[in-house]
Structure 1
Amino acid sequence: MAASAARQHETRALLRAHLKAASGYRHLTRHCPICYRLQRLAMEPSAPGPTRTPGPAAPPPTAEDRGPTAE
């Protein structure tokens, strides 16, 4: 999880650096392929963590567990 957060932080830093460098050149963010790709990378959800294997299933409740029934 820390690696994906570091990658996302680095991507955002690259985007900020690119925008700062290009700001003096009438840079149009919406037409820039570099900005587009960096924004897509920065907005990606982080990679899913390790999957957990399910433990043993709980037994179904019995009549005693349910309590009295209204009849």
Structure 2
Amino acid sequence: RLTVTISIGVALYPRHASNFTTLYKAADEMLYKVKSRGRSGSAVCGEDGELSSSARLQLDVLNVPSGLG
């Protein structure tokens, strides 16, 4: 039997970092927070750490440039 889990750490440009290295570090920190809680989850970087569940609901991703335009 194979069990697959996914852990996701999220940091948004330019809200959480202005360059790739810092952005990657912020996302990686969130990833390891998820893994420390037992894996199979997600965490979004906030100004002072991880965003709460209620703050995540208020995150306006439509105003964050995606770079896909």
Q: TM-score, normalised by structure 1?
A: 0.32
Q: Which has the higher contact order (CA 8 A, sep 6+)?
A: 1
Give the TM-score of the pair, scaled to structure 2.
0.32
- Which entry has the higher C-alpha Rg, 1 or 2? 1
Give the structure with the larger helix fraction.
Answer: 1
